[in-house]
Amino acid sequence: MRWAVVAQRCLSLVVLGLLACSAPAAPGKPPAGTGPTGAGQPPAPSGASAPAASPSQRVSLVVGHFPATHTGGVYIAQERGYFAEQGLEVELVPFQSLPEAAVLLNSGQMDIYAGGTGANLYNAVARGIGLRVVADKAHSEPGVKYKAFVARRDLWEQGTIRSIADLKGRPVTSLPSGGGIEYQMEKVLATAGLTMADIDFRGLGTPEQLTALGNQAVDGAFLFQPALCTAERQGLAVTLLPLLDDVAPGLQGGVINYGEVFIREKPEAARGFMVAYVKALRDYNDAQLYNYNRAQIVEILQKYVKLPDVRYYDECEWGRLNPDGRVDRAWIEDEMLWGVRTGLLDRVIPVDQLVDDTYVDYALQVLGPYRPAGR
């Protein structure tokens, strides 16, 4: 399997610290005439599905992904054949760490990473590593229960932790993201006059977060779905208000990243991937918000996320995805400004150096604007 080689090389590259010392990559925009809207491109095809290319004709891609419901656009495109329609043979590889993914993206051993934002991403681009944010993979919306702090249930029942302010000085866990999660946590902590310095932060993987709540190794956590709902349903924790979704509506919590080598060497595949992805985002929204083909979409999500109980999809939030795939640039800039204030970033890089909308623009030219199914 191709990924076995990639994973082995990843370990070597991380040990050598390639991310910190890599030579600058070429500029991140596709060469003239090869970008999604560049001169000399063939006319955009219609929105109708094209026949799938034969396996011998397909372009092979390695796509790293953070396993979660909000990565559903990638899973749906894979399972419903949208990547194959675009002549792509995609290998999906679970991958939870952006720093290591950045190494692989920069070397061309990984083509695309569906993961989070954060200082690691921005610092990589500032150092000349040619990553580009090209589409939405998770964002906050008001009234949606997707990301929040929780208190351990026994501490809630004792009255020890009943508010965000009560987390001060206590051990609190979340993902060890290197910027993105901390930025989101601090948005909520600020509602109680706290910062990350006021809590004892302990970075853990998602399964370990739930274990730590269960064995009382931490007093609270900052969770997102499906871990948030799982913690509540298993009696491990109680959600504390306010939710991140209400504090920071629109916050860009997850993105699709293209590697520079991928952009340069596989421009047609880069466009085709986005057409397939945006098409799948619409299926996701149709199922989540309008119950259209919901059972089929839930079956796909469950194949990759593997929740213990499929009733989760009816009782809990999946995560919101823009059906047109667009990234909120204002929130990307806000996160970089926070990174500078906290010392995680040396400087704010121009958003245009990081975000490339041309792939989404191309997909929308092909597919047209989103119209909910059956409406």
d(CA 65, CA 113): 6
Q: Choose among 353, 354, 292, 269: nearest CA to 57.
A: 269
Alpha helices in the chain (DSSP H): 2-16, 18-21, 72-79, 82-85, 98-107, 119-126, 153-157, 180-189, 206-214, 227-233, 244-247, 260-265, 267-290, 294-305, 312-315, 329-341, 351-354, 358-367
Cα distances (angstroms) measured from residue 119 to each of 131, 135, 204, 334? 13, 18, 18, 12
Task: Please indicate, yes or no, if residue 307 is contained in any of the structural domains.
Answer: yes
The residue assigned the tokens 């995805």 is 321
Where residue 258 falls (left for φ over 0; alpha for ψ -120 to 50; beta otherwise) is beta
- Determine, yes or no, domain membership for 375: no
| Domain endpoint, select from 204, 220, 247 | 247
* pLDDT < 70 positions in the chain: 1-56, 96-97, 177-178, 374-375
User: Is residue 374 assigned to a domain?
Assistant: no
CATH number, domain with residue 192: 3.40.190.10
Q: Which two tokens stand for residue 55?
A: 């396996």
Are residues 129 and 264 both part of a single domain?
Answer: yes
The 3-state DSSP class for residue 252 equals strand
Report how far residue 178's alpha carbon sits from residue 174's, in angstroms, rounded to the nearest whole number.
Answer: 11
CA-to-CA dists, residue 57 to 198, 212, 334, 366, angstroms: 56, 48, 43, 22
pLDDT at 1: 47
Do 257 and 195 sit in the same domain of this protein?
no
User: Which of these three, 189, 215, 247, is where a domain ends?
Assistant: 247
- Residues 154 and 372: their CA atoms lie apart, in Å, by 43
| Pair 239, 308 in one domain | no
Final residue of a structural domain among 205, 224, 247: 247
Instruction: Please report the pLDDT score of residue 101 as a whole number.
Output: 82
Range of the structural domain that residue 184 is part of: 147-247
Domain count, the chain: 2
Q: Give the pLDDT of residue 226.
A: 86
Q: What is the pLDDT of residue 15?
A: 30
In 3-state terms, what secondary structure has residue 91?
strand
Task: Give the whole-angstrom CA distance, residue 43 versus residue 28.
Answer: 24
Q: Are residues 208 and 286 in the same domain?
A: no
pLDDT for residue 55: 59
Determine whether 23 is exposed, middle or buried from the number of CB atoms within 10 Å of its CB (0-12, 13-18, 19+).
exposed
Q: Is residue 372 part of a domain?
A: no
Which tokens sit at 190?
């600020």
Asked if 61 and 191 sit in the same domain, the reply is no
Residue 181 lies in a domain: yes
Supply the DSSP string of 133-201, one letter for each residue.
EEEEEEE--TT---EEEEEEHHHHHTTS--SGGGGTTSEEEE---SSHHHHHHHHHHGGGT--GGGSEE
CB under 8 Å to 152, separation ≥6 — which residues? 161, 213, 216, 218, 219, 220, 236, 237
